[in-house]
Structure 1
Amino acid sequence: MQEHGERKRRHLDARSLRGLAHPLRMQLLDALRDNGPATASQLGVRLGESSGATSYHLRQLAAHGFVEDAPEHGKGRERWWQAVDQGIVFDTEAFADAGPEVRGLAEAYLHEMANTHARELITWLNTRNNWPESWSRSSDMSNATMRLTPDLAAELVGKMHALIDDYRGRVPDKDTAESEQVRIHTHLFPIETD
């Protein structure tokens, strides 16, 4: 599973998973990736958390190499933070032989990712009328059901990610009319059928 990204992506291992598998830490990292450098206070306001909580969790993220100081933004005593990587690669095989604690953290991480995807989709549905009609026409919320083998499913996932990566190379300038950041969610999983 890969999160969004334009710069390098980090592969999670057991140690880094310990530092990331917390809902607020994942939200802080996403906020820094999506909006650029910020202070703990700014992130606290954005996420509805105290600056003490955001500061603590930012330090934990820093200890595990997910965030770092952004000194070019700081003035005086303000500490600014920035994301180190722009994406995460979660490889289930990396945790196949892990102990119960790490497997539990992996499950917590995956569940929070699913919650994040649901929140983002609901936010879009609740605010889509605030966007130009061209964005409503260009959005997508679809599903498909088909019969595949695990090998075909892996091939399909690889092709979807390759297509997304192709569009990363076409990124318009920030000042290009109508250009906006977009979120792409992909999910592929087997379902029970009668």
Structure 2
Amino acid sequence: MEESYKISDPQVLRAVTHPLRARLLGLLRADGPATASELGRKMGESSGSTSYHLRELFKYGFIEEDPEQRDGRERRWRARHRYTSWNSREMSDTAEGREVVKVMRLWQADALGQIVQEFDESEWSPEWVEIAGMSDHITELPPAALAEFMARTEEILRELEARHAGAPDAEQVRIWVGGFPRMRREEP
């Protein structure tokens, strides 16, 4: 699997803004290859619906057939990339690009809310309960410093992932990193 799918065309990014497609792609990335029927059962959707949306993800390069795991009757799909990225500045050159980036950001925030809602402390060890969560920082940085923070976060994550590969207590962890400037409003 390739590391990243860097998108510069708003039409391509729009293909994954559909909630079902985004969830299908997320499952293929997290759980590995699956058929439309298997994904339909996991998501409570018909295999016809999941099959249609998988073909759309394939059309735009997000997924591919898995040649290593052929099923006699049904295609097995796998994600082509670990994650999707785009340059928001480049996308913001058009109204369509600005709209699709806004939709993606809102979808990401909704997904984060769902993850927080589904986390049940009673199902995890005290070590996981203690460390799971989020922090909220407000600081003053120029754009270059925020860019450095984002890049260094990626570097640290890849280093930790390599160092702890195969650890017996390792679990899939969803990590969200974001930074948005805050508009200062003058009081009337």
Q: How far 1:110 moved relative to its partner?
A: 2.0
User: Which amino acid in structure 2 is aligned with residue 79 of structure 1?
Assistant: R
Paired position in structure 2 for 1:97: 93
Q: Which runs of 5+ in 1 are unaligned?
A: 1-5
Q: How far 1:84 moved relative to its partner?
A: 0.7
TM-score (norm 2): 0.88
Cα contact 1:62–1:68 (8 A) shared by 2: yes
Q: How far 1:189 moved relative to its partner?
A: 1.3
- In the aligned structure 1, how far is the partner of 2:104 from the partner of 2:143? 23
Q: How far 1:72 moved relative to its partner?
A: 2.9
Paired position in structure 2 for 1:177: 168
Distance verdict in 2 for CA 1:71–1:154, change over 3 Å: closer
User: Which amino acid in structure 1 is aligned with residue 7 of structure 2?
Assistant: L
- In the aligned structure 1, how far is the partner of 2:2 from the partner of 2:67? 20
Asked if 1:150 corresponds to 2:138, the answer is no
Q: Decide which of 176, 181, 187 is 1:190's aligned counterpart.
A: 181
Moved runs in structure 1, 4+ residues, more than 3 A?
A: none
CA RMSD of aligned residues (A): 1.9
Cα contact 1:22–1:108 (8 A) shared by 2: no
User: Which amino acid in structure 2 is aligned with residue 152 of structure 1?
Assistant: A
More displaced, 54-63 or 20-29?
20-29
Cα contact 2:4–2:84 (8 A) shared by 1: yes
SS at match of 2:182: coil
Deviations 1:83-122 (A, max 9, x none): 0111111210221322x33332222222112211221122
Q: How far 1:27 moved relative to its partner?
A: 0.8
SS at match of 1:8: strand
Distance verdict in 2 for CA 1:78–1:155, change over 3 Å: same
User: Which amino acid in structure 2 is aligned with residue 181 of structure 1?
Assistant: Q
Paired position in structure 1 for 2:72: 76
Asked if 1:29 corresponds to 2:22, the answer is no
Q: Decide which of 103, 107, 130 is 2:102's aligned counterpart.
A: 107
Alignment length, in residue pairs?
184
SS at match of 2:163: coil
More displaced, 22-31 or 154-163?
154-163
Cα contact 1:21–1:106 (8 A) shared by 2: no
More displaced, 10-19 or 31-40?
10-19
Paired position in structure 2 for 1:120: 115
SS at match of 1:169: helix
Q: How far 1:193 moved relative to its partner?
A: 5.0
TM-score (norm 1): 0.85
Asked if 1:135 corresponds to 2:128, the answer is yes
More displaced, 6-15 or 178-187?
6-15
Q: Kindly, what percent of the aligned residue pairs are identical? A: 33
